Chain A
Amino acid sequence: MSDALLEIENLTKSFGGVHAVRECTFSVPEGGVAGLIGPNGAGKSTVVDLVSGFGLPDSGSIRLAGEQLIGKRPDVISRLGLIRTFQTPREWRNLTVIDNLMLARRRFADESFWRSMAHARRIRRAEEADRVAVRGILDRFGLAELKNELAVRLSGGQKRLLEFARIAAAEPRLIILDEPMGGVNPVLGARIGDAVRQFAAEGRTVIVVEHNLPFIERTCDQVVVMDLGEVIAQGPFSGLRGNPRVIEAYLGMDLGHG
């Protein structure tokens, strides 16, 4: 437990009378890709919201590298090294692709009101270095030709790739992807899988919330299974096939072939 990057203990959250998350406990080690799976209404997205500060739990504890996250604002948690996505891509629509990535570089110090006014030239020079890095990232995700387009003009698939390019530009320690495969065709899906593996290869920790079990099997080193707000199993994907609670939660779905 002590070497875990993210430790969640007894996390509970209810909306009105509905227990979205109940006494949820699991941990994710540093490095590698972890899957968070479960049927609709299992509480996966609520857990993501609570971890990233977009919701306040009723009780429990969430630690990122030992630091308690509960009560912190989303932006504070993000600055600790966590980047999360949402179920639909949330690009900054009327900004250009390159501006989307420059924002993801997160030079917070240069965004101060006074620095922006007083040190315009110095900031511009610093940004030039960032632009070089950002152009490389755009190349990697096949968006280089679109860099000066407004993000709103991109197709659905390009917006997904922009989301991943932004994460790459942000260089976070922990990445949480909320259903990255939603509405994605197989070719783009393979590309997203590659991007996830590459994040892991760079030493980042990735948590993937997903319904697409073949994707989880291909991409994840270990899996956490939730149902009705509780964690019902945790371990490598292959070990879950025989688990009766997991089979019951997925209504007898053949886990081997999704």
Chain B
Amino acid sequence: MSETRPELAADLRKLPLQERMRRAREILERVKARGPDPNVRGKTMDEIVQMVKRTREKMAKERLAARP
């Protein structure tokens, strides 16, 4: 997954739009080929929202605790 490195991400932004979108389509095809992530498999949209909200509030507490 070398394309996730920040310096390469900056290079990606220099590519022509058409090429970038071709690669974006490839990513979505790869996602589809992989199948549902275990974290969201079988969940309704509302269940996904609730899962994220739990993470969100946990992170907010962590940020608060990390304050000097």
Q: Do A and B bind each other?
A: no
| Chain B interface residues toward A at CB < 8 A | none
